[in-house]
C-alpha cells in the first residue's frame, strides 16, 4: 500500500474512457484499491477514481466521514465500486460546489442528479445496487465521470462559479 501521485487535469489518462475490470481475482486489483484508499486519505479526498493514479480501469472508491475538505457534508459509506452504471431516479438536478484532487485548490458549482440508483461490483465481484441522493449521489456521479474522461469543469453551466477556493470562500481560511 502506498500514497500514489495524483494526475492533474490535462493529463491524457484523465481524458480516456477506462477499461472494464474483467479479472476480479487479479491480486493487482486489490493492490490498486489499497493504494487508492491510502492516497484518498492522505489528501482528504471524498472519492478517487483509478485513472487519477494512472490506472485506466473502471474502479472508483469513496468514503466521507468528518472530512475537513467537506465539513458540512453528510457521511457517505466506504465503498469500492467497479464497472459502475448510474440511473437517475428523477430528472431533478441540484447545484452544489465540488472539488477534485486532480484540480487542486479549485471549486466549481456543478449540477448533478439529486437521486440515483447505481450498480456495479465490489472487490470480490459481488454485484451492488444502491440508491443514493444528495451528497452521496453527487460523489458517485463525480467519480464515475472520471471513468469516462469527464472532469467536473466540463459540467459547470456558468464559469463565473469556477475558481480558486481561497478566493471563492475566503472566510474558510480563518
Contacts of 11 (CB under 8 A, 6+ apart): 102
CB of 76 to Ni ion, least distance (A): 14
- Contact with Ni ion (CB under 5 A): which of 36, 59, 100, 139? 100
Considering the complex, state which of residue 53 and residue 100 has its C-beta at the smaller distance from Ni ion: 100
Cell numbers of 118, please? 447505481
The one catalytic residue among 55, 143, 165, 167: 143
Considering the complex, state which of residue 40 and residue 82 has its C-beta at the smaller distance from Ni ion: 40
Considering the complex, state which of residue 100 and residue 147 has its C-beta at the smaller distance from Ni ion: 100
Question: Which listed range, 3-11, 98-106, 119-127, 161-169, lies at the site for Ni ion (CB under 5 A)?
Answer: 98-106
CB of 101 to Ni ion, least distance (A): 6
Active site residue 143: yes
CB of 82 to Ni ion, least distance (A): 17
Total residues binding Ni ion (CB under 5 A):
1
Query: Taking CB under 5 A as the rule, does residue 110 contact Ni ion?
Result: no
The count of residues in the chain is 174
CB of 1 to Ni ion, least distance (A): 21
Could you list the active site residues?
143
Contact set with Ni ion (CB under 5 A): 100
Amino acid at each position: 500500500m502506498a500514497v500514489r501521485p495524483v494526475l492533474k487535469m490535462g493529463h491524457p489518462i484523465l481524458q480516456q474512457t477506462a477499461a472494464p475490470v474483467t479479472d476480479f481475482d487479479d491480486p493487482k486489483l486489490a493492490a490498486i484499491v489499497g493504494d487508492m484508499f491510502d492516497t484518498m486519505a492522505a489528501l482528504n479526498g471524498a472519492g478517487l477514481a483509478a485513472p487519477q493514479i494512472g490506472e485506466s480501469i473502471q474502479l472508483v472508491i469513496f468514503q466521507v466521514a468528518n472530512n475537513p475538505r467537506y465539513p458540512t457534508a453528510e457521511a457517505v459509506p466506504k465503498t469500492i465500486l467497479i464497472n459502475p452504471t448510474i440511473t437517475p431516479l428523477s430528472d431533478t438536478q441540484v447545484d452544489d460546489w465540488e472539488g477534485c484532487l486532480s484540480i487542486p485548490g479549485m471549486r466549481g458549482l456543478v449540477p448533478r442528479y439529486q437521486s440515483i440508483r447505481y450498480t456495479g461490483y465490489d472487490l470480490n465481484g459481488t454485484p451492488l445496487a444502491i440508491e443514493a441522493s444528495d451528497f452521496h449521489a453527487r460523489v458517485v456521479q463525480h467519480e464515475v465521470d472520471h471513468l469516462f474522461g469527464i472532469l467536473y469543469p466540463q459540467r459547470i453551466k456558468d464559469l463565473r462559479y469556477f475558481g480558486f477556493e481561497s478566493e471563492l470562500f475566503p472566510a474558510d481560511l480563518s
